[in-house]
């Protein structure tokens, strides 16, 4: 079987239909193979990248609402930019995979910049940075503060103690 020449000259093409059809997939096979290799590479890169910080909620009311929806307590982290202990905490503690995993599994983390929200800091009596509290979103009971810089292991130990106190307050 043959088909007409595409330039409409009326001449029949000498290449059989089956041969033309087989030639096209060969040219697209290479493109498909390259695309699949690229997709596999991108997938591997994305899956192996480690998460390097906590996924903070930066709006207090939004964080409380999210905690209610997820039935989790909140971690309130009050900070002031450019203070030494805040910088150390952001660079060393909040980037630790164990800290990230524990917080994101058990809490809704709310980050509060005291320069932007002094009224929230005042409500909690925060005067030193960073300061951390844990609480249930619909309770006035708060546990903390954890004040200043702690390396990841010590931070986790203190945070777990606060969580135990918080959970025992509900029993």
- DSSP assigned state of 97: H
- Tell me if the bond preceding 145 is cis, omega within 30° of 0: yes
Domain boundaries, given as residue ranges, for the chain = 1-49, 60-169
Contact of 17 with 3, CB cutoff 8 Å: yes
Tell me, what's the pLDDT at 30? Answer: 75
Tell me, what's the pLDDT at 31? Answer: 75
Q: Identify the CATH number of the domain defined by range 60-169.
A: 3.40.30.10
- DSSP H or E stretch at residue 104: helix 97-106
SS3 string, 16-69, reads CHHHHHHHHHHHHHHHHHHHHHHHHHHHHHHHHCCCCCCCCECCHHHHHHHHHH
How high is the mean pLDDT in each 10-residue block of the chain (171 residues)? Answer: 51 54 63 74 57 91 98 98 96 97 98 97 96 96 96 98 94 78
- Its sign, for the CA torsion 82, 149, 114, 110, is positive
Distances (CA, A) of 148 to 21, 78, 101, 158: 71, 10, 21, 12
- Its sign, for the CA torsion 117, 118, 124, 128, is positive
């Amino acid at each position: 079987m043959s088909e007409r020449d595409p330039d409409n000259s009326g001449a029949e093409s000498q290449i059989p239909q089956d041969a033309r059809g087989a030639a096209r997939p060969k040219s697209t096979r290479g493109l498909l193979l390259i695309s699949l290799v690229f997709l596999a590479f991108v997938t591997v890169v994305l899956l192996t990248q480690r998460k390097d910080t906590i996924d903070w909620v930066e709006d207090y009311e939004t964080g409380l609402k999210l905690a209610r929806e997820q039935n989790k307590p909140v971690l309130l982290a009050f900070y002031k930019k450019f203070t030494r202990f805040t910088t150390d905490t952001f660079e060393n503690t909040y980037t630790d995979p164990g800290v990230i995993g524990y917080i994101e599994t058990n809490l809704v983390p709310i980050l509060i910049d005291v320069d932007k929200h002094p009224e929230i800091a005042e409500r909690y009596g925060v005067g030193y940075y960073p300061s951390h509290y844990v609480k249930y979103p619909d309770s006035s009971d708060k546990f903390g503060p954890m004040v200043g810089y702690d390396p990841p292991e010590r931070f986790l130990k203190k945070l777990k103690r606060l969580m135990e106190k918080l959970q025992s307050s509900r029993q």
